[in-house]
Structure 1
Amino acid sequence: MQRFRRLRKNETIRSMMRETRLHPADLIYPIFVIEGENIKNPVNSMPGVYQYSVDRLNEIMDKVKESGISGVLLFGIPACKDEMGTQAYAKDGITQRAVTYIKKNYPDIYCIVDVCLCEYTSHGHCGVVRDGQIINDETLPLLCRMSVSLAEAGADMIAPSDMMDGRVEAIRDALDLNGFEGIPIMAYSAKFVSAYYGPFRDAAHSAPGFGDRKSYQMDFANGQEAIREIASDIEEGADVVMVKPGLAYLDVLKEAALTFEMPLAVYNVSGEYSMVKAAAANGWIDERRIVTENLTAMKRAGAKIIITYHALDMAEWLEEERRK
C-alpha cells in the first residue's frame, strides 16, 4: 500500500512537497480612475475598493509599490459619455492622464490598460451601436485609436476586453504602424457572459443601457468555443491570453494551459471578490485562507498572471509567511 501521508506528516515536509506557490509577482491589481479632483469614492458593492481621481492616485499607488506586486490594470471613468465613446481615445482622456501620471511617478510598476468602450459610451455597450445592434467592424478602428493613444501615454501593455472579432489583429497592426511594436497585447480571449461582473459595473459605471452583452461575450456553457477563441487571438498576435471570470472557469483555464504554450492570465473578478468579502464580514469564512486557496487554484490551473482585487492583501499575507 502506498502511504501518501508520509509526505504530509508536518509543515516542513508539506512545504517541501508543495507543487504550487503564490508570489506577489504573480499578481495584478485593478484600479478605477475617475474624472475630477480630490476624489476617493468607495465602491459600496466592493468593500475596500475605491474610485480615485488622478491627484489622489498616489494613495493607492504607494501601497502597490510597497506590496511588491507586478503592476496594475487601469479602468477609466470619464465625466462625459457619448455614443462613440470619444473620451476613450482622447489624448487628454482620464485613462491617458492616469497612465502618464503612473509612469512618471512609479516607473517600475507595470501599467496595463483595459481597452473597451463600455465605460465611455452613453449606451454602455462595448462597441458601436446601430439600430439596437452592436456593430463589430466599425468598432475596431475606435479600439485601435484607444490603444494607440494609451501607448502614447506610456502604457506598458494593452488589454482589449471588448470581445469584438478581429480586434487583436487590428490593434496589433495599429500599434506596429505607430511605432509601438514593443507593446504587448493581453487579450481577454475567453470572456464569458457572467453574473459575477455585477459589482464591477457599479465601480466602472459600465452597465449596458439596454439589452445585454450576449451577442459578443461568450456563453458560459461553452468550453470548446473558449479554446477556439483563444487560438484565434494567438493567431492574431496576442502575447498573453486571458480567461475571465476565474473560479467558475478553472476547467477552461486548465484546458488552455494544456493546449497552448502561451502565457495565461486569469481575472478573479468583482463578484468573486465581493462574495468572499461579504462572507468574511459575517464571520462565515476565514478570508485569508479562502483567498489563498482560490488564488492558488488559479495558479495551479495554469495562470501566470492573476488579476485580483485581493492582490494587496495577498501580497501582505505572503510577506508575513515569508518572515515566519
Structure 2
Amino acid sequence: MEFRHPQPGYLLPLKWTDDAGLEELAKYLEQLCAHLPVLVVDGSAEERYAAHAQAFPAAVRHCRPQHPECRNGKVSGVLTGVDMAETEALIIADDDVRYTLPQLERIRTLLGDADVVRPQNYFPSPLPWHARWDTGRTLLNRAFGADYPGTLAVRTAVLRRTGGYSGDALFENLELLRTVRAAGGCEVRANDLFIARVPASTRHFLRQRVRQAYDDMAQPLRLAAELSLLPALVWGARRPRCLIVLAAAAMGTAEYGRRRDGGRQVFGPTSALWAPLWLVERALGVWVAVHWRLRGGVPYSGTRLKTAAHSVHWIRRSLGD
C-alpha cells in the first residue's frame, strides 16, 4: 500500500534511559519508512542517542529536540517535529504505539475532515496482569465518551498558527487537543480505530499510577466523581451488599465501553471484570494527587508540574481570541 498525496509524516518523540526494546522499535520504524517519512526527535543521553542513530534505519530522520526546553520534555520533541515537518499532517506516537499500514491509511482519510484525530489504543494478547488492570480504565473511559490514547494525528498548520501548545502541562495530549479546539479546529474521535500498544513494564506501570490520577486535575467533573469514590468505599465497607452493587455497576459500565464502536474486536470478554480494581486504585490515587497539588505539583523528571492541562477558555484567551 502507498499513500495518496498528500501523506502524513510520522513523529516519535523519544527519551529513553533503557534500550531494552531498541531492536524491535528499529524494525517497526523500518516498516514505516517504506510508506511515509519518519522523524525521531530524541532527547536521550548522548550514549543512548548514538546507539539509536546506529540502530535506526537510514531513512529515519533522527535529531535532537531543537525547540526551547519545556518542563514537559515530550512537548519539546513534538514542537520540534512540527517545526521540521515537510508534510501537512503528523501522526504523533509514543514509543510503544504500533500502527499497521491500513490504520495509517485510515488516519490519513480521517484527516481529510479534521484538524486532529484521536484513535483508540489497546493492548494485544497475551496481556500481563497490569495491562488487564489498565484496560479496565480504558473501558470506563469509552463508556463515558472516549479514551486518551498515546497517539494523535494533527494538521501541522493549526499548531503553527497557535505557536504550538503549552510545555508546562503534565497531560500533554489533552493540552494539544484543547489547543486545537481553542483555535477553532475540528477533533474527530475515532473510537473504532484500534491501534496496538506494547504493554509497559510492571515497574513503569506502578510509577505511573499517581501521575495518571493527577491528570484529572484538568477535568473538574471527573475529579469530583473520583474524589467521592473513597468515601463511598469506606461507607460501603460495613455493607458488603453495597460493595457488590458498586462492583457490579463498574463492571456493567465497563462492559458497555467494551461493546461500543466494535470494541469486542480487541477487548477480551473478561476485560470488564478488572474495572472495580482500577476504581479502587483511583479512589486512593486521586487523593495522593490532591496532596501533590497542594505541595506545588506532581514530581516529573526532576521538576514539578502543577498544571495538568489548561482549559479551552484559558488557551483561547492566551491566543488573543
TM-score, normalised to structure 2, is: 0.27
Q: Which has the higher helix share?
A: 2
TM-score, normalised to structure 1, is: 0.27
